[in-house]
Each structure stands twice: as structure tokens, then as C-alpha cells.
A and B are shown apart, each in its own frame.
Chain A
């Protein structure tokens, strides 16, 4: 079943066409890679999908529901989690607080249940705290739960933002360069995590420059160049596609 579908998405910054009529489809249970040279519009496409940028043309569907130009929080609440390229976190809050904030809006608690059903609210809070602990352990940050997020190393920040994206039980996770500037051990850890979560049914859409990672974990790869989709297919097909080689190495 198609989970995410874009139809002819266009995003212009004044004269520059950053994303040019991109149509793509991501099915449930896939790990899809999005690659392309610097400035080819990958992050811009992510921002369009998650509502941070308004598209100039085209439509975006999530689970066959039109989500084009919806607010970012609305899209997040539908089950689309994302991380940012520079591993954005609430730096002055602790690791644990970051996790709790990432979870809280997804728990459908009306103000009334919060006021009247204190027992239920407490149960949910306890469950959230346990899940936060579980995910922090999964990414290896459980010992740092009381530390300020601002005191983490860059690699740890990436792992925390990954854990934050996972805590609300998302359907689709968009990762923006999860392996960039991360040491090899942590890269291996990230790869294992993605594989493990994918085997449990979670769908991923990943921007990454590290080809080894992309070739290893993705079952489909989409290539952008100057905002245009130039190739799509299994890792082996894409690797030998002449158009892709030209985009990366230049025509000579």
C-alpha cells in the first residue's frame, strides 16, 4: 500500500526552481533513500512533505489523504516524524525532557480527561516515561537522561533526535543525513537500528550522502539533480545508471 505519494511537486525560491515536478511513491515497509549532489533539493523536498515549506504546485498524499500545505504540526500528528540535518534539539532541556516533549502532543488527552481522569493521565505519563527510557537505551543514551541536550556530542545529538522521532509511534520517519559527521561505530548502530525497526514494519525515507549506508539499508533509491528526479530503483540499478554517474561525476 502506498504510504506517501507526491504528484508533480514544485518549489521555487524566486527564480530558482529547487524542486521540479517530483513525483514519487513510498510503500509501507520500505526503506527509501534520497540522494543527489549538494543543492539538488533533497532537504527542500523533505520540508515540502512535512509542511515546513509551502509547495508552489503539485500535491502530496499521506495514506491517500491530501496533506499538501498543511501545517507541520498537523502532518506530525498524522504519524510523519522527521529529524533535521543539523540535529535540532531543545538544547537547554535534559535528554529526558526532550523525549517527553516529543511524545506529549501525540497522546490524545483532552483537557477534560487531564482534569477529571487523573488516573488515566498518570498511566499515560508513566507509559511515556518507560518508552522514553526504552528508546534511550536502544540508542545508548539512557545513562545521559538527566544531562542537558546541549552537552551531548554531535553524534549523540543525532541519535537523540532519532529517538525523539521514534517516540510517538510514527508510521513514516524522514531522516535527514543520519550518518553525516557521525563516527563509524555510531553509523553501524544507526544502520542496525533502522534495519531492526524496519523489520518491525516501520517505513523510512532517508537523505544520506554516505553511499555505503544507502546501498546497505535501502530497498529503493531516488536520485535528484537540480530538483529533478533523474533515477529511481533498486540500489544496484541506480548505481550503474549513466544519468546518475553523470550527475555525480560530471559529463566528460
Chain B
């Protein structure tokens, strides 16, 4: 038993470090600015998609407010860097905390509603955020947007200074965050807290009957996911170096929906696959830019109709079937 556990631990550690090594060594193999650019965006959208996935896939609540938290994180970090000349790192911390605090506050009324009403209230929240970003001109400069967002730099003991202005360095920065986030996410969904989330997704009344404080856990998930979206938003703003209210618009939302649903909500691997495919696909479809939203719409529609569990869900079901066969064979 103990030996088996140790073997599993070593195997997992080896697996994770290999993945980390492969991901972080990509710039050695390709210097192409274009590919690195796509990969940075993949990483950023992946973090946003996972924040969405945590709520939809594990707690069972479809939140359209995730892109709002993404935008709030982006604006927080941007305003601190541009208007108040603060470092990226202070901005990043606040880009996690402010969306999380807002989520905790609006979550209390929102999460009391039925699942369908919750979706609509989060959509309302997103629209409100968009309107504020457009109209609070003194702070956000409205539709003009905020240009010249500085690239992050890291000062180590006032000696070594690393700038993340280059594509390669920004790629490493994004991937380090993505890897840490995934490690924490895997820990979270595998823990007792994660089990409570899944119980709520499956049957909220039964979850209450077995002693789960459903409101507490839903609020916890909503808060964590808002913080995750905030990190992605901050990284996005400092990468693109320009921010305007379009982050709150439908395009971002649809992108994340497609990544999560086609990839497979309720699995960690699904959105990873989804984010790679759907960051590369728009580049291929570039010639047909006007049709992109329409094509996405069709993909979303067909996924929901034909394969609601996504690619990740299909894979999970297949693995379970295999395991069951093994159990019966014994």
C-alpha cells in the first residue's frame, strides 16, 4: 500500500516536472516571435478558461462574469502601473485580490439564485462592468483605452534585473504562472473541498443532506475563480500593452466558452487542449475574420448538442470503462 503510494507520488512528480520542463524549454526550439505570441495568448486564455471551468465543470454553475473579473484584473493592474507608476507585482497581487473581493460580495446574492438565474445575473454583471469601463472616463479613459502599459520587470536583491519585454521572457513568465495555477488547481479539485464542489454540481439538495454547507463552498469557488481570472487579466494587459473596454465584450467570452466546452468542462486536461486548438484556429481562419464569430457559434452549438461533455469528458468516460473492466476481470 505504502509502496504503491510512494511509486504514484514519484510517478506524478516525474510527470509534472517533465511537463514543466517541456513547456518552459519551448523557446529553445523555436525563436519564432509569431509562435511564441500564440503560445503566450494560449497560456493567458487557458488560465481564464480554467477559472471558468472550476465553476462550471466542478461546481456546476455557468458564470458569464469570469471575463468581467478578467477585465477588472486587467484594469486594476493597468491603472496601478500607468496612473500610479506601481510595479507589475503590486498590480498583480491587487489584480487577484480586487476581483476576488468583488466576487465574494456579488456572489452572496447571485449564488442564492437558481442556476439559470445565476447565469443571467452574471451576464448582467458583465454588462455593468463594460458600461463602467466605457463611461468612467476619468479613470479608464473610456473607449479611448489606456496605451503604454509597461512590461513587467523583476528585480532580484537590487542586483539582477530581468525584463519581460521580450517575447521569450514573457512566454516563460506566463507559463510559470500557468503551471503553478494548474498545480494548485489539481490539488484543489482532488481535495475534500473539490469533492464538496462536485457533490454540489451533482445534486445540491443531497449535498446539503450529507452536511455540505453549499453556500460556503459555492462562494469559495466563485472567489477563487475570480482571482484566477484576475491573474490572467493582469498578464493579458501587460502583454498587449494596451487596454480598452472591448475586453468585456462578447468575443472574449465566446472564446473562453468554446475553449472550455469543446475541450471538456469538469476535466483539467480538456481546457488545456481547447486553449491550444482555439488559439491556433483563429489564426488559420484569419482570412475569414468576419466569419470567426459565426464559426465559433456553430462549433459551440454542435458541441452542446452532440458532445456536451466535451473531448475531455469523452476521454474520462473511456478511461472509467477501462478501469471497470479491469475490476471485473480480477
Chains A and B come from one and the same complex: yes
The interface of chain A, by Cβ under 8 A from chain B, is 50-52, 71-73, 76-77, 81-82, 84, 88-93, 97, 100-102, 104-106, 109, 114, 146-148, 164, 168
Contact between B206 and A90, CB atoms less than 8 A apart: yes
Against A, the Cβ 8 Å flags (1 = close, 0 = not) of B190-217 are 0110011011001101111111111000
The 9 nearest A-B residue pairs measured at CB: A105-B211, A72-B208, A76-B211, A90-B202, A102-B210, A88-B206, A77-B211, A101-B199, A146-B327
Among A93, A100, A147, A164, point to the contact of B324 (Cβ < 8 A): A147
Write the nearest CB–CB distance from A2 to chain B, whole angstroms.
Answer: 23
Nearest neighbor of B199 in chain A, beta-carbon distance? A101
In the complex, 30 of the A-B residue pairs with CB atoms within 8 angstroms, ordered by the A residue number, are: A50-B209, A51-B208, A52-B205, A52-B209, A71-B208, A71-B213, A72-B208, A73-B208, A73-B212, A84-B205, A84-B209, A88-B205, A88-B206, A88-B209, A89-B206, A90-B198, A90-B199, A90-B203, A93-B198, A100-B195, A101-B196, A101-B207, A101-B212, A104-B192, A104-B196, A105-B196, A106-B211, A114-B192, A146-B327, A168-B211
Contact between A73 and B211, CB atoms less than 8 A apart: yes
Write the nearest CB–CB distance from B8 to chain A, whole angstroms.
Answer: 14
Among A71, A76, A93, point to the contact of B210 (Cβ < 8 A): A76
B173-205, CB < 8 A from A: 191-192, 195-196, 198-199, 202-203, 205
Write the nearest CB–CB distance from A13 to chain B, whole angstroms.
Answer: 18
Query: How many Å lie between the Cα of A251 and that of B209 in the bound state?
Result: 39
Write the nearest CB–CB distance from B28 to chain A, whole angstroms.
Answer: 37
| B323 in contact (CB, < 8 A) | yes
Query: How many Å lie between the Cα of A164 and that of B324 in the bound state?
Result: 22
Q: Which residues of A contact B208 (CB under 8 A)?
A: 51-52, 71-73, 76
B64-103, CB < 8 A from A: none
Q: Which residues of B contact A147 (CB under 8 A)?
A: 324
Q: Which residues of A contact B196 (CB under 8 A)?
A: 101, 104-105
| B320 in contact (CB, < 8 A) | yes
| Interface class of chain A by DSSP | loop
B269-327, CB < 8 A from A: 320, 323-324, 327
Q: Which residues of A contact B199 (CB under 8 A)?
A: 90, 101
The interface of chain B, by Cβ under 8 A from chain A, is 191-192, 195-196, 198-199, 202-203, 205-214, 320, 323-324, 327
Nearest neighbor of A51 in chain B, beta-carbon distance? B208
Write the nearest CB–CB distance from A63 to chain B, whole angstroms.
Answer: 17
Q: Which residues of A contact B327 (CB under 8 A)?
A: 146
Write the nearest CB–CB distance from B108 to chain A, whole angstroms.
Answer: 15
Nearest neighbor of A101 in chain B, beta-carbon distance? B199
Write the nearest CB–CB distance from B203 to chain A, whole angstroms.
Answer: 6
Write the nearest CB–CB distance from B2 to chain A, whole angstroms.
Answer: 10
Query: How many Å lie between the Cα of A102 and that of B199 in the bound state?
Result: 9
A101-B196, A104-B195, A105-B196 known; A91-B202 Cβ under 8 A: yes
Q: Which residues of A contact B203 (CB under 8 A)?
A: 88-91
Nearest neighbor of B191 in chain A, beta-carbon distance? A114
Query: How many Å lie between the Cα of A39 and that of B48 in the bound state?
Result: 49
Nearest neighbor of B1 in chain A, beta-carbon distance? A126
Nearest neighbor of B192 in chain A, beta-carbon distance? A104
Q: Which residues of B contact A93 (CB under 8 A)?
A: 198, 202
Nearest neighbor of B210 in chain A, beta-carbon distance? A102
